[in-house]
Structure 1
Amino acid sequence: MASRLHKNVALKAEKSECKEIHLGLNSPLGKIQISGCETGIHEIKLQPETVPEKSTKEISFTCDVCEDPEEMTVPLKQCVDWLKVYFCEPWMTEKLPIPAFHHPVFQQDSFTRHVLETLLNHVKSGETVSYKELADLSGNNNAARAVGGAMRSNPVPIIIPCHRVICSNGDIGNYMGEKQNCLKEWLLAHEKLQKRD
Structure 2
Amino acid sequence: MASRLVSKVTPKEGPSQCEEKRVVLVSPVGKLEISGCETGLHEIKLPKMSKLPNRAEPSATCEVCEGPEELPVPLERGLAWLQAYFSEPAMTDSLPLPPFHHPLLLRDSFTKQVLWTLLRDVKLGEAVSYKQLADLAGNSRAARAVGGAMRSNPIPIIIPCHRVICSSGQSGNYGGGNLMKEWLLSHEKLQKEKLAY
Question: TM above 0.5, one fold?
Answer: yes
**Contact 1:40–1:76 (8 Å) recurs in 2:** yes
What's the CA shift for 1:92?
1.5
**Counterpart residue number, 2:158:** 159
CA distance in 2, matches of 1:168, 1:182: 19
CA distance in 1, matches of 2:51, 2:40: 29
**Does structure 1 residue 98 correspond to structure 2 residue 97?**
yes
1:190 maps to which of 174, 184, 187: 187
Q: 1:24 to 1:7 in 2, by over 3 A?
A: closer
Q: Which aligned runs of 4 or more in structure 1 are off by greater than 4 angstroms?
A: 6-11
**Counterpart residue number, 2:133:** 134
**Counterpart residue number, 1:3:** none
CA distance in 2, matches of 1:130, 1:61: 30
Residue 45 of structure 1 aligns with an amino acid whose one-letter code is K
CA RMSD of aligned residues (A): 1.9
**Counterpart residue number, 2:62:** 63
TM-score normalised by length of structure 1: 0.88
**Counterpart residue number, 1:39:** 39
Percent identity over paired residues: 60
CA distance in 2, matches of 1:27, 1:149: 26
CA distance in 2, matches of 1:146, 1:60: 34
- How many residues end up aligned between the 2 structures? 186
CA distance in 1, matches of 2:178, 2:171: 8
What's the CA shift for 1:158?
0.1
3-state SS of paired residue (1:33)? strand
CA distance in 1, matches of 2:59, 2:24: 20
**Structure 1: tracts of 5 or more residues without a match:** 1-5
**Contact 2:28–2:59 (8 Å) recurs in 1:** no
What's the CA shift for 1:10?
5.8
Residue 177 of structure 2 aligns with an amino acid whose one-letter code is Q
**Contact 2:35–2:44 (8 Å) recurs in 1:** yes
Q: 1:8 to 1:39 in 2, by over 3 A?
A: closer
Comparing both structures, which one devotes a greater share of its residues to helix?
1
3-state SS of paired residue (2:31)? strand
**Contact 2:10–2:106 (8 Å) recurs in 1:** no
3-state SS of paired residue (2:48)? coil
What's the CA shift for 1:52?
3.7
Deviations 1:70-95 (A, max 9, x none): 32111000000000000011122111
3-state SS of paired residue (2:153)? coil
What's the CA shift for 1:142?
0.3
